[in-house]
Amino acid sequence: MQNGFLLKLVVQRIALGCLLLLAASGLIFVGTQMLPGDVAQSILGQSATPQALANLRAELGLDQPPLTRYLDWLGNALQGDLGHALSNGQDIASSIAGRLGNTLFLAGTAAAIAVPLALALGLLAVRFQGRWPDRLISGVTLATISVPEFLLGYLAMFALAVQFRVFPSVSSIHDGMSLGQQFQAIALPVLVMVLVVLGHMMRMTRAAILNVMQSAYIETAELKGLRRFTIIARHALPNAVAPIVNVIMLNLAYLVVGVVVVEVVFVYPGMGQYLVDHVAKRDVPVVQACGLIFAAVYIGLNMIADLVAILANPRLRHPR
């Protein structure tokens, strides 16, 4: 009975994620169709004849009803066919593959640093609640999340690339580089991304643990004479997993989806830079493909967070 109810919750979350992705695809398609200008005109130029424009619109399928074009695009995308870029004729899926790998490498490196650091700082803040380490950690992390990414990027670039020349200002990576060279190249964007997401995760970790610390079993552990840090790490933290996982997944989604500004600042060859370049060219198929992939990553990570919350919280696994 309980396993059946748990399976029902999991299926419901997966179905909801699929519906959200479908709705996101519709919004992406409608949004790109509302962009100003004419795709055919931007490709052929202002000197193109009306007949040439009409022929190109027919070739691109722009003369079809919007619903027909949306269903064709969605059907092809479900089969892995994202179409071809209007600006250079390249296959979008092939072009995105390498870019997506670069973005995941950047986001994964930032996550590998930010997640354990946020948990450690959150535990430390709870351990010294109300004292100077808690105030210092909270103040510094609040300051970092209050500064826009582009400003953090330029400040880091000025300090560590221009003044002290520790890291390169342009984060360019390619296949011929060793892993160490790649890590050195992405050091500045990783630093910026870690500073951006660290505060949210640390503050949620602190708040979730402090909420659990009010429980009766924590008071019992204290009466047994257990050390405060042992109580926090072994008893409070495991029972505060659900909200912490939720905020971690949200920030991991941000690391992938919200990386656009950081990639542009450091000229990093990832999905964000690729998207911005083709928005400027009004390359609608590329914009649609990038938007769909970003939406899939964001919805997928949030769905994983919901599933982990269900599995971690016994109250969510049982019908009321």
Please indicate, yes or no, if residue 289 is contained in any of the structural domains: yes
Give the C-alpha separation, 215 to 233, whole Å. Answer: 15
Nearest to 266 by CA among 198, 184, 144, 199: 184
How far is Cα 205 from Cα 238, in angstroms, rounded to an integer?
Answer: 11
Q: What is the model's pLDDT at position 145?
A: 86
Number of H helices, E strands in the chain: 16, 0
Amino acid at 104: L
How many domains are there within the chain?
1
Would residue 89 be called left, alpha or beta, if left means φ above 0 and alpha means ψ between -120 and 50 degrees? left
CA neighbours closer than 13 Å in the CB half-sphere of residue 299: 19
The three-class DSSP label of residue 209 is helix
pLDDT for 315 equals 60
Q: Is 21 within a domain?
A: no
Contact 117, 194 (CB under 8 A): yes
Indicate the pTM of the whole model.
0.86
Residue 308: inside a domain? no
Domain containing residue 258: CATH number: 1.10.3720.10
**CA distances for 120 relative to 51, 200, 229, angstroms:** 65, 13, 12
Whether the CB-CB separation of 274 and 95 falls below 8 Å is answered with yes
Give the range of the structural domain holding residue 184, as residue numbers without chain letter: 96-294
Ranges of the chain whose pLDDT falls below 50 = 1
Residue 255 maps to a domain:
yes
Task: Give every CB contact of residue 52 below 8 A, 6+ residues apart in sequence.
Answer: 44
pLDDT the model gives residue 37: 67
| 286 within some domain | yes
d(CA 25, CA 39): 20
Asked, for residue 139, whether it belongs to a domain, the answer is: yes
**How much is the pLDDT for 320?**
55
Q: Which of 154, 313, 310 is nearest to 240 (CA)?
A: 313
Any domain includes 208: yes
Residue 58 within a domain: no
How many angstroms separate the CA atoms of 112 and 114, rounded?
6
